[in-house]
Chain A
Amino acid sequence: MSDDHARTVRELVVRMCANPEGGHLGGSMSMVEILVTLYRDVLRIDPKRPQDPDRDILLLSKGHGAIGLYAVLAERGFFPEELLASYGTADSMFTAHPNPAVPGVEMPTGSLGHGLPLGVGFALAARLDGSDRRCFVVLGDGELQEGSVWEAAMAAGAQGLDRLVAIVDRNGLQISGDTEETMGLEPLGDRWRSFGWTVLDVDGHEPDQVRTALSRVPHTPGRPTVLLARTVKGKGLPYIEGQARSHYVRLTERGHRRARAAVLRGERP
C-alpha cells in the first residue's frame, strides 16, 4: 500500500526527529494512516474554522504522538507546513505533547489516561445539545494500563455514548518493550466489550479498513465503539519497525537521509 498523504506525513515526522531535540518517532509512525484517514475522510472539520461549534472532535490521548498529529494538521491545511521547522527550537509552539496553541489541537494531552474522560465529556455535551457531533479519541495501547481509561470506558458504556469512538493504536510496544510482557492487555477486545463497547478490529495501516469501520459509527445504538487498530511501531522505517527503541529517536543528518529515503520508497506490506 502506498499513499501520498501518509508518505508526506512520514516525511514531516522524520524531518522533525532530525531536530537536535529528537522526537517520538515510533508511535507517530504507527498511527499515520489512522490520523490521515480521520482527517481526510472521516472528521467533519474545516481547517479554516477550527473552532466551528459543530465540528467533530479528535483527541490525541497518546499525546507523545504530537509530531504525528502536527504533521497531519499541517498536511490538512490547519497551518503552513513550514512552521513545523520550529519544532525543537526555543519558544516553538510545537511542544512534544499536543499544545492547544497549535491550530487544530483541541486539548493538551500527553499525560496518559486523560483523553477518554475528556471524550466522554465532549460526547455528553453533544448529546445534551441534541447534536450529531462525534468525538474520536486515539489511545496508545500501553496507555490502557492507566486506570482512568477504564473509569471513562465504564462511564461511556453506562451512559450509552454511541457517538464516542476510541481508536487504540495497537502497536504492541511501550518503552519497556512488549505490552504483553510489561503488563498484558489481552484479551483486549473482551475487555472493551465487557465495558459495554462495540469492538471493531482493523489493520491500522490500511486506510480502507479504518475508513470503512469509522463510516459505520455509531455502529450499535447506545453503545460506544472502539477500533482496535493493529499497527507496527516505527512503520515506514524497516530497520526500526516493531522495535521498542523506535519510541523516541534523535536522527543525525545521515540518519535523516536514510529515514527519508526509506519513507519515500513507500511502505511494503
Chain B
Amino acid sequence: MSVVTAEPTASAEPTASAELTASTDPTEARAGREVYRDVLVELMGRDERHVCLDSDTGLFSATAWGESAPRYLNLGIAEQNLMGVAAGLARSGRIPFVNTMATFAATRALEAVKLDIAWNDLPVRIAATHGGLSAGHLGSTHHALEDLGVMRMLPNMTVLVPADGPATDTLVRAAAELPGPVYLRLGRGATPSLPPEAEPVRIGVAQRLRRGTDVTLIATGPHPVLTAVETADELARAGIDAAVLNMHTVKPLDREAIVEAATRTRGIVTVEEHWAAGGLGSAVAEVVADLGVACPVRRVAVADRFAAGTGGHRHLLARNGISAATVTGHVRRLLA
C-alpha cells in the first residue's frame, strides 16, 4: 500500500470572476446549514425532547420558533459550556442539537465533547458549520481541517458529512433517531446538488455514485464528492472506468464498500477537505492496511500546513489541490 498526499496545484485555480458568478450557477442548491436549520425547526415542533442550543451563530436569528421557543437557548460565545450543558440536558432525557463552527467543536470544546458527551454516550447532535475550507476568506482560525480525524477518534461518536442539501435533510432526520452522539459536518455557503438519480443516503452505507472496475474514488463532503464525480466523467472519456463512492458517513465507516474497492479495483483515491492526517483518507487506508491486500491508496487532501491566504471556498480548495486535476493525476500514476 502506498499513501501519497496531494500537492497543491496552481493550474486549477478559478478566476475571480468564476468566484463571483458561482452563486448564480443553476446547479447551486441551498447551504447545508440552512437545510439543517429548517429540518431542525420542523423536528423541534414535533418532538418535545429536542432542544436547540446555540452559541451566537446567528443561524437562527430569523427563526420563528412558535411553541418550541422555550427549547431554543442561546448560550452565548462559550463552546466548552455549550457541550457540558448539552450533556446535562441529554442525561436528563432531552435530545440537544448544539450549534457551533466545526473547528470550535473539534478543538476548543473537544474535552467536553470527549468526556461529557462521548464517554457518556449521550444523544447530543453537534451541528458543526463552516466545515473544511468553507469559511474561505475568514481564514485559518475558522477553517476546520482536523475535525473529522478528531471526531472519528472518539468512541461512540457517529460522524456524518452530507454532500448536498437533500442529503443534509435525510441525514439530519436520521441522526435525530440515533441513540448516541453525532457529529454533523456542514458547510458555510451554498453548494451544488448531486445528480438526483443517486442511491438513497443511509447512515453507515457508502452511496455509490458511479460503478467502475479500474479505480475507486472515495470522497466526503460537497465539493470533494463533486470533484470525484467530475473526475470519473473525465476519466471515462479517456477509457478509464472509475467507481465513485460518497462516504457521507466517516464513522462508522462502510468497511464492506472499502473491501470491495480494494479487492475489485486496482487502487483507491480519496478526496476530502481535511488535512491528510486523520481524515477520510486515513480511515480508508487503515481499513486497507488491516485487510493486508496490495491496494494502493492515494489521498487528495490539504497538505500538512495551514491553508493560509485569502480567497473564497472554491479558490482555497483549488489552491490546496482539492481538484479534478489532482485526482486525475493520482489515478493516472496509480494505473501506470
Contact = CB atoms under 8 A, between A and B. Distances in A.
B84 A117 contact: yes
A155 B75 contact: yes
Interface in B82-125: 82-94, 96, 111-112, 115-116, 119-120
Interface string A102-118: 00001110010110111
Q: Identify whether the interface residues of A are mostly helix, strand, loop, or mixed.
A: helix
A125 B115 CA distance: 20
A148 B92 contact: no
B116 A117 contact: yes
Interface string B55-89: 00000000000000011010110101111111111
Contact of A159 (B73, B87, B93): B73
Closest 9 CB pairs of A and B: A121-B88, A117-B84, A125-B92, A151-B81, A151-B78, A121-B85, A148-B80, A118-B88, A122-B88
A128 interface: yes
Nearest to A147: B80
A121 B91 contact: yes
B157 interface: no
B51 interface: yes
Contact of B85 (A107, A129, A147, A155): A155
**Which of the listed residues B76, B80, B84 has the most CB atoms from chain A within 10 Å of its own CB?**
B84
A226 B304 CA distance: 47
A128 B85 contact: no
A173 interface: no
A117 B111 contact: no
B266 to A, nearest CB: 47
Given A117-B112, A155-B78, A159-B73, A108 B119 contact: yes
A96 interface: no
B80 A126 contact: no
A114 B85 CA distance: 9
Contacts of B91: 106-107, 118, 121-122, 125
A111 B115 contact: yes
B40 to A, nearest CB: 17
Interface residues of B, number: 29
Contacts of A148: 78, 80-81, 84, 112
A100 B85 CA distance: 18
B88 A128 contact: no
Interface string B165-209: 000000000000000000000000000000000000000000000
B115 A117 contact: no
Given A108-B119, A128-B94, A148-B81, A117 B73 contact: no
Interface in B288-328: none
Contacts, number: 96
Interface residues of A, number: 30
Nearest to B79: A151
B76 A107 contact: no
Contacts of B86: 121
**Which of the listed residues B70, B73, B87, B116 has the most CB atoms from chain A within 10 Å of its own CB?**
B116
A121 B87 contact: yes
Contacts of A123: 88
**Which of the listed residues B83, B85, B89, B116 has the most CB atoms from chain A within 10 Å of its own CB?**
B85
B81 A152 contact: yes
A119 interface: yes
A142 B83 CA distance: 22
**Which of the listed residues A53, A117, A129, A154 has the most CB atoms from chain B within 10 Å of its own CB?**
A117
A125 B84 contact: no
B88 A120 contact: yes
B116 A114 contact: yes
A154 B81 CA distance: 10
B73 A114 contact: no
Nearest to B78: A151
Given A117-B83, A128-B51, A148-B112, A122 B92 contact: yes
Given A124-B85, A155-B85, 18 more contacts: A107-B87, A107-B91, A111-B115, A113-B80, A114-B84, A117-B81, A117-B83, A117-B116, A118-B91, A118-B116, A121-B85, A121-B92, A124-B89, A129-B92, A129-B93, A154-B78, A154-B81, A159-B73
Nearest to A125: B92
Given A111-B115, A125-B94, A129-B92, A120 B70 contact: no
Contacts of A118: 84-85, 87-88, 91, 116
Interface string B15-26: 000000000000
A125 B75 CA distance: 14
A124 B80 contact: no
